[in-house]
Chains A and B, each alone.
Chain A
Amino acid sequence: MLEIKNLHVSIEEKKIIKGLDLSINKGEVHALMGPNGSGKSTLSYVLSGKDKYEINDGTIDYNGKNLLELDVDERANEGLFLAFQYPMEIPGVQTSFFLKTAINSKRKYLGQSEMDALEFAKLMKSKAEELNISTEMLKRDLNVNYSGGEKKKQEILQMSMLSPKMAILDETDSGLDIDALRIVSEGVNKLRNSDNSFLVITHYQRLLNYIKPDFVHIIADGKIVKSGDYSLALELEEKGYEEISQTA
Chain B
Amino acid sequence: MAATEQTIKQVNTLGSSDYKYGFSTEVDEIRPPKGLNEEIIKFISAQKDEPEWMLEWRLNAFKVFNKLPKPQWAKLNIPEIDYQDCYYYSIPKSLKDKPKSLDEIDPEILKTYEKLGIPLKEQKMLSGIAVDAVFDSVSVATTYKKQLSDLGIVFCSISEAVKTHPELVKKYLGSVIPVSDHSFAALNSAVFTDGSFIYIPEGVRCPVELSTYFRINAMNTGQFERTLIIADKDSYVSYLEGCTAPMRDENQLHAANVELVALDNAEIKYSTVQNWYPGDKEGKGGIYNFVTKRGACRGKNSKISWTQVETGSAITWKYPSCILQGDNSKGEFYSVAITNNMQQADTGTKMIHIGKNTSSKIISKGISAGKANNTYRGLVNILSKAKNARNFTQCDSLLIGNQCGAHTVPYIESSNSDSMVEHEATTSKINEDQLFYCQQRGLNSEDAVGLIVNGFCKEVLQHLPMEFAVEAQKLVAISLEGSVG
Q: Which A residues are within 8 Å of any B CB, using their own CB? A: 48-50, 71-73, 75-77, 81-82, 84, 87-93, 98, 101-102, 105-106, 109, 141, 158, 162
Contact = CB atoms under 8 A, between A and B. Distances in A.
Contacts of B443: 73, 101-102, 105
B457 interface: yes
A52 B458 CA distance: 31
A90 B436 contact: no
B441 A105 contact: yes
Chain B interface, >50% SS class: helix
Contacts of B458: 92-93
A49 B458 CA distance: 30
Query: Which 8 residue pairs of A and B lie closest in terms of their CB atoms, listed nearest first?
Result: A92-B455, A92-B458, A105-B442, A93-B455, A102-B441, A88-B437, A72-B439, A76-B442
Contacts of A81: 440
A75 B445 CA distance: 13
Contact of B437 (A75, A87, A101, A109): A87
Nearest to B448: A73
Contacts of B456: 91-92
A109 B442 CA distance: 9
Nearest to A76: B442
Contact of B447 (A72, A91, A101): A101
B459 interface: yes
5 contacts: A72-B440, A82-B440, A88-B437, A93-B454, A105-B442
Contacts of A77: 442
Contacts of A109: 442
Given A76-B439, A76-B440, A93-B455, 16 more contacts: A50-B436, A71-B439, A72-B440, A76-B441, A76-B442, A87-B437, A91-B455, A91-B456, A92-B454, A92-B455, A92-B456, A93-B452, A98-B451, A102-B441, A105-B443, A105-B447
Contact of A73 (B431, B434, B445, B451): B445
A60 to B, nearest CB: 16
A73 B442 CA distance: 4
Contacts of A75: 440
B103 to A, nearest CB: 39
Interface residues of B, number: 22
Nearest to B437: A88
Contacts of A89: 434
Nearest to B450: A101
A90 B438 contact: yes
B458 to A, nearest CB: 4
A84 B434 CA distance: 12
B462 to A, nearest CB: 10
B433 interface: yes
A72 B440 CA distance: 6
A189 B75 CA distance: 59
A141 B455 contact: yes
Contacts of A91: 455-456
Contacts of B438: 90
Contacts of B433: 88
B444 interface: yes
A92 B455 CA distance: 4
A158 B437 contact: no
Nearest to A48: B440
B442 A162 contact: yes
Nearest to B441: A102
A76, A84, A158: which has the most chain B beta carbons within 10 Å?
Answer: A76
A165 B452 CA distance: 27
Contacts of B434: 88-90
Interface in B361-408: none
B436 A72 contact: yes
A54 B457 CA distance: 35
A92 B459 contact: yes
Given A50-B436, A105-B447, A90 B441 contact: no
Nearest to A106: B442
A97 to B, nearest CB: 9
B444 A73 contact: yes
Contacts of A82: 440
Contacts of B455: 90-93, 141
A1 to B, nearest CB: 18
A110 B444 CA distance: 14
A105 B438 CA distance: 11
B441, B443, B452, B456: which has the most chain A beta carbons within 10 Å?
Answer: B441
Nearest to B452: A90
Contacts of B444: 71, 73, 105
A162 B445 CA distance: 19
B437 A162 contact: no
Nearest to B436: A50
A156 B385 CA distance: 59
Contacts of A73: 439-440, 442-445
A216 to B, nearest CB: 25
Interface in B441-485: 441-445, 447, 451-452, 454-459
Nearest to A78: B442
Contacts of A48: 440
A88 B455 CA distance: 13
A141 B459 CA distance: 13
Contacts of B445: 73
B282 to A, nearest CB: 28
A102 B444 CA distance: 10
A70 B436 CA distance: 14
Interface string B422-435: 00000000010110
A207 B145 CA distance: 69
A206 B277 CA distance: 59
Contacts of A106: 442
B166 to A, nearest CB: 47
A221 to B, nearest CB: 26
